[in-house]
Amino acid sequence: MPNAKASKTFKKDDMINTIQELNLARDECYALVKKRAKFSAATSAIPVVGLDIAADIGILLKLVPAINERFGLSRQQVAGYSPAVREIIAGAEGGSQNKNGAGMSMVGAEITKTLITYALRKIAGRAVKKQVLKFVPFFGWAANSVIGFRAMRFVGNSHVDDCYDAAKRVIESQYGYSPT
């Protein structure tokens, strides 16, 4: 993961075993989302139609797998888990959605442009406003930047929350309670 702090505290083979470790992973991922959302805001301010959408897709193609991996939920990591753990991650027993209602569609999934486009459609109204605002000098560009930041932060933080919930369910199933 590109975040320097995260790379110091996380080794690829580590598995999150406690709520404390899980909270650390969540905080690191929130920081990564904020950093990438700032980049999205910067590209949104450039008055070229479509550039921000292309940049957002590129950002999410790297961000979502990094978050999955940090929580031990990348496609490769999940493939190595027992069927019972994979079932918990998939939410086969009723599934769950985070507080934003974004669902768990990208947890442990192969991240493709199609899946990212689906995630961006959830915020499609904002994307339309962003494209219209490209034609309003200064104020429109500034507003576009704010919309870009908030949209990227929403999608990124929703995914962090989804991963947190999935990893927490796995930890709780292993211990029968929520270890701290």
Angle at Cα 15 formed by Cα 85 and Cα 25, nearest 5°? 110
Q: Which of 162, 164, 57 is nearest to 103 (CA)?
A: 162
| Contact (Cβ atoms closer than 8 angstroms) between residue 161 and residue 68 | no
pLDDT above 90 covers what percent of the chain? 24
Task: Give the pLDDT of residue 175.
Answer: 75
Domain range annotation of the chain: 17-175
pTM: 0.73
pLDDT at residue 27 above 80? Answer: yes
Task: Give the pLDDT of residue 71.
Answer: 92
pLDDT at residue 47 above 90? Answer: no
- The predicted-structure confidence for 106-128, as pLDDT tens digits, reads as follows 676 666 666 666 666 666 555 55
Chain CA centroid to CA 101, Å: 14
| Contact (Cβ atoms closer than 8 angstroms) between residue 140 and residue 134 | yes
More confident residue, 166 or 46: 166
pLDDT at residue 73 above 50? Answer: yes
Q: Which two tokens stand for residue 136?
A: 């309003």
- The predicted-structure confidence for 126-176, as pLDDT tens digits, reads as follows 555 555 555 556 676 777 788 889 889 998 999 999 899 989 988 888 777
Task: Give the pLDDT of residue 25.
Answer: 96
DSSP code, position 86: H
Mean pLDDT of the chain: 75
Task: Give the pLDDT of residue 9.
Answer: 37
**Mean predicted confidence (pLDDT) in 25-54:** 89
Cα–Cα distance for residue pair 25/19, rounded to 1 Å = 10
Q: How confident is the model at residue 11 (pLDDT cuts 50, 70, 90)?
A: very low
pLDDT at residue 2 above 80? Answer: no
